[in-house]
């Protein structure tokens, strides 16, 4: 269904038909295609294929995909919650979804969880907790996390012995 949708949305192999393309993507979601839900979210977020931008629909589709295990959608929905984009702003929901994404292996989500603790967004401020999350992201290669560890090096050296070894990776 998703491939057929792309034919209609791009006009490649079928006449361009936005309505049919979106419908085929929605049908794919009904068939448990989480990638189709993520694609719909991106279409509404960025206004792709001449679809008007609709951040509320984008957030709904991100949540649909995230709830069904799509890792990137978990991080995207977390950002919607953090910024109040398409959903009411909620630090608690942002932390929940970033943590789910991080635990599923999303690198940037580890950094985002660390940032939440460092900046005390809905949680008690904790540079120690932030360092632990930044370290996990740094081990996975996140450059922003490495910079954060350098910024918090006095705490990082206590909380994560050997933390500076990831700076050279």
Q: How far is it, in rounded angstroms, from Cα 72 to Cα 77? A: 9
- pLDDT on residue 165: 87
Q: Between 91-103 and 55-67, two packed helices, what is the crossing angle to 10 degrees?
A: 40
55-71 mean pLDDT: 97
Q: Please identify which residue in the block is written with the tokens 């079928």.
A: 14
- pLDDT higher for 6 or 61? 61
Residue pLDDT, tens place only, 130-150: 999 999 999 999 999 999 999
The DSSP call for residue 51 is: P
- pLDDT on residue 138: 96
Q: How far is it, in rounded angstroms, from Cα 65 to Cα 39? A: 9
- pLDDT on residue 31: 87
* pLDDT interval class at 112 (50, 70, 90): very high
Residue pLDDT, tens place only, 21-61: 999 999 999 989 999 999 999 999 999 999 999 999 999 99
Residue 4 phi, psi dihedral angles, 5° rounding: -65, -40
């Amino acid at each position: 269904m998703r491939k057929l949708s792309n034919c209609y949305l791009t006009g490649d192999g079928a006449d361009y038909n936005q309505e049919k393309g979106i419908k085929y993507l929605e049908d794919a979601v009904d068939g448990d295609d989480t990638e189709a839900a993520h694609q719909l979210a991106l279409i509404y977020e960025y206004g792709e294929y001449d679809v008007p931008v609709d951040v509320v629909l984008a957030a709904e589709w991100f949540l649909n995909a995230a709830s069904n295990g799509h890792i990137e959608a978990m991080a995207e929905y977390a950002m919607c919650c953090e910024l109040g984009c398409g959903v009411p702003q909620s630090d608690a929901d942002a932390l929940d979804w970033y943590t789910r994404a991080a635990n599923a292996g999303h690198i940037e989500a580890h950094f985002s969880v660390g940032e939440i603790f460092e900046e005390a967004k809905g949680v008690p401020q904790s540079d120690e907790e932030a360092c632990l999350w930044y370290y996990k992201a740094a081990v996975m290669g996140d450059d922003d996390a490495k910079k954060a560890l350098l910024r918090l090096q006095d705490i990082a050296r206590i909380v994560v012995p050997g933390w500076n070894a990831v700076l050279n990776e």
